[in-house]
């Protein structure tokens, strides 16, 4: 079991009371998640979230604020994930762009529609991020602008599940 958590990013964006989510195949199971993924070595958390949203949805994500930092341990695998979640807007959609491997399609779903899919959510972090988004109180991007792969695990989480 790894001692360090996987460092990931996620994007929360809303249009007309619907949130952008991806439907992805994980271990032969279809699940729903925010556009999200791992921070690559040498990459900042901000550049990682922009890249991941583009790869998974064909939208360009413009981060506006930090939603939160979440530490979660998968009860089945025991793997820990440290997720940096960002709020922002999407622009410049490219419908011809192929989506990242494993992504089946993108959806714009309301909070009730996501709640109906509770058993199909990739992790509890999906709804936790939506709930925190609804509560507001975001943090300036300046708080995480210098955080990258090498130093992300040193950041104390603001929310732990």
* DSSP symbols for 38-79: EPPTT-BHHHHHHHHHHHHHSPEEEEEEEEEEEEEE-TTT--
Residue 1 in this model has a pLDDT that exceeds 50 = no
- Segment 35-86, tens digit of pLDDT: 999 999 889 999 999 999 999 999 999 999 999 999 999 888 888 999 999 9
C-alpha dist (Å) from residue 18 to 23, 28, 58, 108, 130: 15, 27, 17, 5, 11
> Range of 102's domain?
6-160
Mean pLDDT of the chain: 90
Is 27 within a domain? yes
Is 1 within a domain? no
Q: Average of pLDDT values for 24-30?
A: 91
Is 144 within a domain? yes
Is 24 within a domain? yes
pLDDT for res 27: 85
CATH number of the domain at 148, please: 3.90.79.10
The count of structural domains within the chain is: 1
Beta strand 6-12 pairing with 80-91: parallel
Q: How far apart are CA 1 and CA 102, in angstroms?
A: 24
Q: How far apart are CA 54 and CA 68, in angstroms?
A: 21
Residue 157 in this model has a pLDDT that exceeds 60 = no
Is 53 within a domain? yes
Q: Average of pLDDT values for 26-42?
A: 93
The answer to pTM > 0.85 is yes
Q: How far apart are CA 80 and CA 8, in angstroms?
A: 10
């Amino acid at each position: 079991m790894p001692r360090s958590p996987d460092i990931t990013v996620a994007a929360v964006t809303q249009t007309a009371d619907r949130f952008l989510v991806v439907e992805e195949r994980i271990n032969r199971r279809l699940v729903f998640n925010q556009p999200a993924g791992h921070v690559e070595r040498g990459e900042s958390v901000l550049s990682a979230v922009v890249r991941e949203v583009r790869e998974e949805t064909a939208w360009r994500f413009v981060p506006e604020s930090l939603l939160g930092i979440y530490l979660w341990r998968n009860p089945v695998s025991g793997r820990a994930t440290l997720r940096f979640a960002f709020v922002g807007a999407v622009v410049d959609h490219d419908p011809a762009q192929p989506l990242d491997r494993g992504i089946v399609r993108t959806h714009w779903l309301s909070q009730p529609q996501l709640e109906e899919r509770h058993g199909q959510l990739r992790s509890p972090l999906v709804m936790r991020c939506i709930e925190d988004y609804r509560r507001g109180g975001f943090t300036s991007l300046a708080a995480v602008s210098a955080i990258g792969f090498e130093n992300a695990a040193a950041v104390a989480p603001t929310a732990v599940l």
